[in-house]
Amino acid sequence: MTKLTICPNCGEKNLHWDNEKKWSCNACSFVLYHNVASAVAVLVKCGDEILLTKRNQNPAIGKLDLPGGFVDPKESAETTCKRELWEELKIDINTSKLVYITSLPNTYIYKDILYNTLDMFYMYEVDEKPNFCIEKSEIISTVWIDSNDINIDEIAFDSQKYFFETFYTN
């Protein structure tokens, strides 16, 4: 974050990162907030099994992830769940069946920029495993894993590791 030093407003090399959430320019009044980004993670659950995806992009390429992603502007978290499950897997969910569980902070580094996120976890229970089609640019493969057999070391993100260790029980 400290690599950004030139103010986009006045052009002076006076941009200061506060090591938390904003840049400000010492030469003019320019301020740019880098606020916490909202994100969702969905536990698609069938019996004792949960659907996990293997990431096909960085950060954490090859690691296991829950379906989900960043909330778009003007979008509800539930709408994000529906959009992301459709974009990633072509699973069309009924948002009224989403059950909110908890939220956890996470960090996400993308192209050398660190994003602080707040990940909202939802449960989506299904009676039978849905047919789906993988978005191959984002996902290498999917796996249904018994929730008792999840290896925390294979999970991509700290928020999800903490979630499986602490909050998630059958």
Between 27 and 36, CB nearer to Zn ion: 27
Between 32 and 126, CB nearer to Zn ion: 32
**Least distance to Zn ion from the beta carbon of 11, Å?**
7
DSSP secondary structure letters along 95-149: GGG-EEEEEEEEEEEETTEEEEEEEEEEEEE-SSPPP----TTTEEEEEEEEGGG
**Least distance to Zn ion from the beta carbon of 35, Å?**
20
Indicate left, alpha or beta for 11 from its phi (over 0: left) and psi (-120 to 50: alpha).
Answer: left
HSE toward the beta carbon, residue 161, CA cutoff 13 A: 11
Between 28 and 140, CB nearer to Zn ion: 28
Between 25 and 91, CB nearer to Zn ion: 25
Say if CB 127 and CB 119 are below 8 A apart.
Answer: no
**Least distance to Zn ion from the beta carbon of 33, Å?**
15
**Least distance to Zn ion from the beta carbon of 156, Å?**
37
Between 3 and 74, CB nearer to Zn ion: 3
Residues that bind Zn ion in the complex, under the rule CB under 5 A: 7, 9-10, 25, 27-28, 30
Centre a 10 Å sphere on the Cβ of residue 42 and count the other Cβ atoms it contains.
26
Strand, coil or helix: what is 69? strand
Say if CB 27 and CB 13 are below 8 A apart.
Answer: no
**Least distance to Zn ion from the beta carbon of 8, Å?**
8
